[in-house]
């Protein structure tokens, strides 16, 4: 599904889809065109079984400086309708059934940082900077920040990050659990590629079930999560991958997962 939309670039290799925000002259600030392109792309990715991992990055020196404040609303566009549309992006990104990795260099501010937090793993270069910059612009969090931050760091620390709008280094963000890995600027791409390759070689069904269980756990009781785990394992056992994994374990070989369903109607 590679596309070369002016505002986003895509490249696919070995089941890994790399999506690049492509407004480097604006520090990849998010405008209506980018949001619409991402909605279309993420909707297509959700239905494409050949894509096993998605990597989100920014062109140039920065990941994303947040929303493009120079772009005003159309005269006939109500703000609630506008945010309903753009918030399809964080929802789709968070709910994708495949692993997602944010590759962050430079600025990841406001909505840009929140899109990174929607990803399953955040890999930052040592020059990365993070800020919930909204209050400095007379705004409150959007693109999922008000939900994501308390889930990741807890309510009190989330209030610190949002209300003070301080700028965090990559090391500080990693210490707070907001970054998964930090790498030197020249090595972040190779680390992301290594992680993406590892994920793309894993069982897609098992990864999808695991991601869903973890995402939904924050709103469920232990009993509900246990019941969901049972249903997920039942689905996993009905794939070729569970047999492949067991055989590979016994033969001490690396499994080659297919993601195929092994029960077929007669």
Under 8 Å CB-to-CB from 12, ≥6 apart: which residues?
1, 2, 18, 51
pLDDT digits (tens, 9 = 90+) for 85-108: 889 999 999 999 999 999 999 999
Chunked mean pLDDT (size 10), the chain, 266 residues: 76 96 96 95 96 97 90 72 88 96 98 97 98 93 94 96 97 98 95 97 92 91 87 84 78 80 55
pLDDT for the residue numbered 264: 45
HSE (side-chain half, CA atoms, 13 Å) at 119: 26
- The three-state secondary structure class of 47 is coil
Question: CA 101 → CA 93, 98, 208, 226, 246, distances in Å?
Answer: 10, 10, 14, 27, 28
pLDDT at 49: 93
Please report the domains of the chain, with CATH numbers, ordered by start residue.
4-200 (3.90.226.10), 204-251 (1.10.12)
Model pLDDT, residue 257:
84
The residue behind tokens 């991958």 is 241
pLDDT of residue 104: 98
Q: What pLDDT does 242 receive? A: 78
pTM, rounded to two decimals? 0.89
pLDDT tens, position by position, 214-224:
999 988 888 88
**pLDDT attached to residue 3:** 56
Give me the phi and psi of 198, to 5 degrees please: -60, -45
């Amino acid at each position: 599904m590679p596309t070369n939309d002016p505002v986003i670039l895509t490249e696919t290799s070995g089941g890994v889809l790399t999506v690049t925000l492509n407004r480097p002259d604006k520090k990849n600030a998010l405008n209506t065109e980018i949001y619409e392109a991402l909605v279309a792309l993420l909707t297509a990715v959700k239905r494409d079984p050949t894509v096993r991992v998605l990597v989100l990055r920014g062109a140039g020196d920065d990941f994303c400086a947040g929303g493009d404040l120079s772009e005003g609303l159309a005269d006939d566009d109500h703000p609630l309708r506008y945010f309903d549309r753009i918030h399809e992006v964080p929802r789709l990104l968070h709910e994708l059934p495949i692993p997602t990795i944010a590759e962050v260099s430079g600025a990841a501010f406001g909505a840009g940082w929140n899109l990174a937090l929607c990803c399953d793993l955040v890999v930052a270069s040592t020059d990365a900077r993070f800020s919930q910059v909204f209050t400095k612009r007379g705004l409150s969090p959007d693109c999922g920040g008000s939900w994501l931050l308390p889930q990741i760091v807890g309510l009190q620390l989330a209030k610190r990050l949002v209300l003070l709008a301080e700028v965090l280094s990559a090391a500080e963000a990693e210490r707070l659990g907001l970054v998964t890995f930090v790498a030197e600027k020249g090595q972040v791409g190779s680390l992301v590629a290594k992680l993406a390759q590892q994920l793309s070689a894993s069982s897609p069904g098992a990864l999808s079930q695991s991601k869903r269980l973890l995402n939904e756990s924050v709103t469920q009781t232990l009993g509900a999560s246990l019941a969901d785990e049972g249903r997920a394992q039942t689905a996993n056992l009905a794939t070729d991958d569970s047999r492949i994994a067991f055989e590979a374990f016994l033969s001490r070989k690396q499994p080659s997962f297919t993601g195929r369903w092994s029960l077929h109607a007669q």
